[in-house]
Structure 1
Amino acid sequence: MNRSLLMIAGLAAIGFSCGKNNDTTEFGDWTRKSDFEGVARGGAASFVIGTKAYVATGLNSNSERLSDMWEYDSQLNTWTQKANFPGVARALGSGFAANNKGYVGLGQNANNQYLKDFYSYDPTANKWTKIADYMGSARSGSVSFVINNKGYVGTGYDGNYVNDIYSYDPAADAWTKETSYAGVKRRGAVSMVINNVAYVGTGENNGSSQRDWWVYDPATKVWTQKLDFTSDQSTIARRNASTFVIGNIGYLLMGEGGDSFVWSYDPATDIWTKVQDISTGSWKVKPSIRSLAVSFSINNIGYITTGGSSTRYDDIYAFDPSKKRVVAE
């Protein structure tokens, strides 16, 4: 039995039938929060420090590159503009946080030139500092994640699709070559860190959206293939999607070529589960389907903001997976 059929069988085995008429339980509820106060944009970089998220750079509705940065306080539900990103304005860069500092770099400038500079942000001083340039080629559309206070940045597009990965050690201000991503080269992939290993997949290679899924263990420096992100749906493969992690479960949604479902991934079972259909009309509020959005989690709540489809967005929504409803079929 192939991997896709195994996954479908797993979904059937755990299907959420719950009572009369095979009613279905959908998990997760959305709450609209205070709108992002910067201009609407896609392709921004972001990071989270404590209970605050930071959104920087990006591409506005006029295709202009941006250099402003905004802080979202999840406890107060407020936005505050912070010191502008000091590098050239850009979109499709990468961001991560380690040791209570944020890091932003890479991307494309207004002339569509690829960039490799990186900067750190100190939220206490509200100050940016230039750090060592990225060790790999200048690029955009890279994936990033953090494990044990080291940032990992790789894949993307530098004029060609690439799959190399480099880690950044803030203490040494130095980049180190890591084991290259084991799937096909790509840009616009997503990542999740669960139990100190990183899961990376989806994205685009040579015009084709991808749905393979791999896990990287920094202790062994080995990539291992997991079940594809797939099901009986025809719109699973996607690029520039959104993810967040709540507890030990990862969530993936939206993106170019994506569907209207929120999907969960359980690394303990290596199974993807459809937990919610955003397109259904009975939710009080729900985010529009979008790509190149910013997504993150704080205190067991997932967030998605900015991004776009036919237009750019400046709204923000919070996802609580503990809430549920029953849908009659």
Structure 2
Amino acid sequence: MLPNTQTSIQSGSHSAEASEDSSIAAGSRTGSFQSSGGGGTGDSSIGESQNQSGNKNDHGLSILTQLFETGFQRGDYHDIVLHTPSRSYRLHRLLLSASPLLRPQLFHGPDIFVSFDSSPAITEEGFAISLGHLYSTFSTHFLESPHEEIQSLQSARLFRSVLASAVLLGSMDDLASLALEKCLLSISAPTILDWVEALTPAHLMSYGPYGQPIKAAVEHYLASTLPREGGAETSEPSKELVEVYSRLPFELFKSSIESASFPGSDRSIFAFTKNIISQRLPFLSPNSGTLSSHTEENVVLSFGAKKGGSNVFVTRKGGRKERGLWKVG
């Protein structure tokens, strides 16, 4: 359940009652925030850690647990209300002051507002995890998932939401670095097209300095890892590989094929590319960022030696004129 979210708020109220909870995401594979009954992030290891006798950090851990459960999850003794596009959180100025984004707003009344307009990757679930990080590191528990789930669409979207939220709130390098690590691990055949859509200029800006590592990882996966795993060198590449390449925006399709990292000989790359081009037409539309009905793609095999890459080139021209000027080797 989301921490201390509420559907109606009385400004200036300092009630210690727990507010109405809303789920982070229906069926979330990460578990849920618990608003009452203890348990914090739902991880029994927190309680086990507290019971370890002789641990010099017991007192500090107890304080952090109190801050997270009572302060963040329940919103007790709050002195400010933070509003997002769809939720409200009862929080505490002292802890919010660690955020460069929120700090200037803390002296202007009982309510502050955060917009996600400039950060298209942010979801309410990811923002809640990053917001909870201002209280303690317990919320990072929600980034942990079994290996087979890391490369799911739901996980990939959560990881980049947490990353963008950490960048937006500011001064969360540790959380942002962890989220980046998870983002890179989530790049896979089932998620790659979703990641391609998340590389728009607005998305990259929302990732801050972590945008370029993500872009480079996506490009490397497309140009090297995926074609190797999908058998691009063979006469029967995998359906996943064909589907991904059939749907790629033209510039990314071109750069991947022409990359020095793309596996195979010039002739096998040429054969693969020719097959993909024939498969791309059903997925193309004027607004897809690839081809319009008046655009033509071709693959050219050059027989001159080229250093640092293959001799296969992907070309595109607009309109249907001058067909005789295009030669396919």
Range into which the TM-score falls when normalised by the shorter chain? under 0.3
- What's the TM-score once normalised by structure 1's chain length? 0.24
Whichever structure has more helix as a proportion of its residues is: 2
In terms of fraction of residues, the more strand-rich structure is 1
Bigger radius of gyration among the two: 2
Normalising by structure 2, report the TM-score: 0.24
